Amino acid sequence: MTKVCILGSMGWMPAAGQQTACALVETRGQLMLLDAGTGVANLAMCQDILARYDRLSILLSHYHLDHVCGLMYLKRFAAHMRVDVYGPGRPAYERTTADYLCDVLQESMYSSGPHGFAREVNYVDYDGKDFMVGDVRVGVRVQRHSAPSFELRIEDDVVYATDTCFDRENWGNVAPAKLLLHECWQLNSADPRHTSVESLSSGLPRDTFGKVVLVHLNPSWNETERAAVERKARQRGFALAHDGQTIAI
């Protein structure tokens, strides 16, 4: 069984008591984080899980701060662990994963520095290609965004697609999976860097995913806007994520 805990369901900034992009995945003897936004702080809800592991793999979709700033919080939770941080690095970017994150976590900005938040820290470029975490295959697919971002697939269990505009042609032949975590930033397709619930509702192939849960929600929504998005999502059988939500598949 694979278990997914949503730790951060918001994009850009925390809002309405919800943190930014992060999900904990426990599968096949591996413990992984999908992105490391402020939702890392919600690992406080997962202490029993963390205690069973001495290794944590962090899979980054890209380097925007709302997806990586939670690395600074890991010292509280991962001091006993080996942590491997996988990022797109070269050739998608001009520099390596280590280069970007060592800049963000330099000691002048974070006292523990880029290697001080765990027993051992390694930075790995996944080069835009599929890779293995232990015996678990992680599939990689490039997305369109303001900076290169990547869809991440954990076997055929979880597909994570955030910070991307939705292009229905790219989803026509996607292999089925049990769970899709897909961003939802707007009701209509106003911002070409992001996905709307209407484009997902009309363009996502039916019966490809057992469950569809919408993440990277827009913190700027007022109650009326959120209700409109949620209503449209429910019509299609989608659900809006919330922090602390656990999904077993």
Give the domains, in start order, of the chain with CATH numbers: 3-248 (3.60.15.10)
Alpha-carbon span 3 to 46, nearest angstrom: 12
Residue 112's pLDDT is what? Answer: 97
Residue 190 has pLDDT above 90, yes or no: no
Alpha-carbon span 136 to 67, nearest angstrom: 22
Residue 144 has pLDDT above 90, yes or no: no
CA 17, 159, 142, 58 dihedral sign is: positive
DSSP E strand boundaries for 28-170: 30-34, 55-59, 82-87, 120-125, 131-133, 136-143, 149-154, 158-161
pLDDT digit string, tens, across residues 91-120: 999 999 999 999 999 999 999 999 999 999
Q: Is 54 helix (H, G, I), strand (E, B) or coil?
A: coil
- pTM over cut 0.85: yes
User: Mean pLDDT of all residues in the chain?
Assistant: 96
- Contact assessment for residue 224 and residue 190, using Cβ atoms and an 8 Å cutoff: no
CA distances from 143 to 55, 110, 148, 167 (A): 28, 30, 7, 9
Task: Please give the helix or strand (H or E) that residue 210 lies within, else none.
Answer: strand 209-215
Helices (H), 35-82: 47-50, 65-68, 75-78
Residue 100 in tokens: 């970007």
Alpha-carbon span 115 to 192, nearest angstrom: 36
